[in-house]
Amino acid sequence: MGKRNGPPSDRVQAGRIEKQRRDEARAKLPAWYLRLSSQLYTKYRSVSPEAFDEDLSELGESDKPSEEEDEPECECDSDASECDCGFEDEKDEDNQSEKTCEGSEAEFYYEMKDCRRERKKSVLQERKTIEKEKESAMEVSKAKEEEVNTAYTAFKKTRRQAKKKGETIPLDFVFGHRGIVYDLFSTQHVEWFFIYSMFSTQRADFYYLDECHGGPPPQDGEERPMFGMIYINAEATCEYGPIAVPTRARRKTVKVIGDKTYELKFKFFDKKYLKLSLPCAMLERGIKLPPDAPETFEFVGILRDMAQESRRRA
């Protein structure tokens, strides 16, 4: 028989010391690696790029420079996708852990670290893109609000003059075969709700419904009422009606109940323009806002030229 290497008690003690060394070395690895590797070993699942997001705190609000501070200049002249100037904190962390990551886990750790770095670059680039698109949407909304507010100021002046003469300002709603469509804009909504993948054309539609489509039967001497729909995104939509077709421009708010739940407030002061207030509860379907969000959001509407739209599509 072969000779054993030492008594059993020595072998057990050596095994314990070796295990302790492995545990101590593993404990020095980054928390993100310990979390993900634990999931892999216990749940037998591969790591998706999104799996690293839970630990990417470096890209949070706390790392944004304040208004008083100058934003650090990027030292990379290459494409933005190759820039890693925003990851200085991680470099120190990983360089320290590289010295202690040895043994059977080293190859897997370095592979995971490369995947994590690529994910961080992707997330950072995506956030920069979203911020740029948000700024663009804010500029457009500001310009549209100024256009409508200028028209509203002019309307109030015209209305005062007409009121002195005992006159009213007619409002001629001319319905085409597709009804009337107003494109909606709101800097307030951009500020609180902007998500690049969900930010599409927002609109308010007004149309007639005949009896074949569920509308009320015509009344002698009365104009048919109109129905409508607010479309903000695929989640935040709201139908309303019937409501009377406005025949004169007014400052008074017209209140409408949408989806039998939400109070919508319109100001019909011009055929081309309107003002609209929407409750937060309607807008945040699919997106949950913090408790300090406004209860209502102000929009302006600008009439879409349907003839021009048809020509553009053709």
How confident is the model at residue 126, as a pLDDT? 82
Does residue 62 or residue 106 have the better pLDDT? 106
How confident is the model at residue 120, as a pLDDT? 86
Residues 249, 154 contacting (CB under 8 angstroms) = no
Between CA 150 and CA 262 the distance in angstroms is 29
pLDDT digits (tens, 9 = 90+) for 189-226: 999 988 755 556 899 999 887 644 555 555 655 667 88
The region of weakest confidence among 30-34, 83-87, 129-133, 139-143 is 83-87
Identity at 178, one-letter amino acid code: R
Q: Assign 110 a pLDDT band (cuts: 50, 70, 90).
A: confident
Burial class, 153, CB count within 10 angstroms (exposed 0-12 / middle 13-18 / buried 19+): exposed
Percent of the chain with pLDDT over 70: 60
Ramachandran bin of 93, using left for φ above 0, alpha for ψ from -120 to 50, beta for the remaining angles: alpha
Contacts 24+ apart (CB under 8 A), 193-199: 193/283, 193/284, 193/287, 193/289, 194/130, 194/133, 194/134, 194/137, 195/130, 195/287, 196/129, 196/130, 196/133, 196/134, 198/233, 198/234, 198/235, 198/286, 198/287, 199/133, 199/137, 199/233
Residue 19, pLDDT above cutoff 60: no
pLDDT digits (tens, 9 = 90+) for 139-158: 999 999 999 999 999 999 99
Residue 297, pLDDT above cutoff 60: yes
